[in-house]
Amino acid sequence: MTMDSRALTEDWPAIPFSEWRETSAALHLFTQIVGKYRLAHSPWINHSWHATLYVTPRGLTTSMIPDGPAGIEITFDFVDQAVRGHTGAGATSSFTLEPMAIASFHEKLIALVTELGGDPTFHGRPNELPDPVPFAEDTAERPYDADAVARFHRALVSVNRVLQNFRTGFRGKVSPVHLFWGSFDLAVTRFSGRPAPLHPGGIPNLPDNVTQEAYSHEVSSAGFWPGGGPVDEAAFYAYAYPGPDGFAEATVLPDAAYFDEDFGEFVLPYEAVRTAADPEKTLRDFLETTYRAAAELAEWDRALECEGGLIGSPPAIGTPD
């Protein structure tokens, strides 16, 4: 395997979706298989936070799953291109990420979990995708472009850094920065604290009660997709639920951002961020202005906001008038 060294060092690499569409589709399903294993063995946390993956310097991780005699962690290593399993007792197991069928990845993960002493029982069909094929029956060979995956990971690291910083500017309830393997997006969500209207559901191959629990309270959410689905390019998104009156007409930054009427969300192409003079500031502007539009129009408690990005000390607490 050869890999362009720039894929491992460039903060905002080019990731044109058309060039790795099939690899991205395979990687999406790989993460679904690992995510479903975590989901099957983790107690439910509000808004499905118990099922997500997290960005690491080398790839993605489940964090510790309470399975087996000493807990199991599954990681995607996009530097060495491998899936690795670790236990608290010191056991390890791994297999190589390479071109393979989804059924082969499924079989390899089951073998890895079994070797580590875990229970490899989990739901065997994809979520949030139309016409899902059970993992064990998806035997078509899939490509795996290691360089594209490494560049995608470098982008995730940079996006994760900005989202983590944005997360610190809110002292109310806010999600971790995590990757939802169902929709394959890295996301962070702020909550107003007020209950939301019952969500209508209707997401393909996702139980409505899961969606309704996820949107039990008002949110302002933002994140990043590699491409595919409603936006056929790598892009950032931002939305509010419920969407307040006037949200679609709000003025947001940068100029490249727009409201997608069919999608019902603000969209900012990744390429506009990558090629900006200051990519981090460009993305922060998008996050801040879309949140501000949601918070102002829905009359959130703005006292939940605080100074973000501080290191070594908490933000100051205002004194009552």
Can you give the pTM of this predicted structure?
0.95
Looking at residue 230, what is its pLDDT? 78
CA-wise closest residue to 63 among 78, 48, 73, 77: 73
Q: Are 97 and 84 in contact (CB under 8 A)?
A: no
CA-wise closest residue to 127 among 43, 211, 67: 211
Binning pLDDT at 50, 70 and 90, where does residue 131 land?
very high
Give the three-class secondary structure for 187: strand
Q: What is the pLDDT of residues 62-108, one digit of tens each?
A: 999 999 989 999 999 999 999 999 999 999 999 999 999 999 999 99
Cα angle at 120 between 229 and 188, to 5 degrees? Answer: 40
Q: Could you tell me where the beta strands, DSSP code E, fall in the chain?
A: 54-55, 59-61, 72-77, 82-87, 92-96, 100-101, 141-142, 178-180, 185-195, 217-225, 235-241, 258-260, 265-269
Looking at residue 231, what is its pLDDT? 86
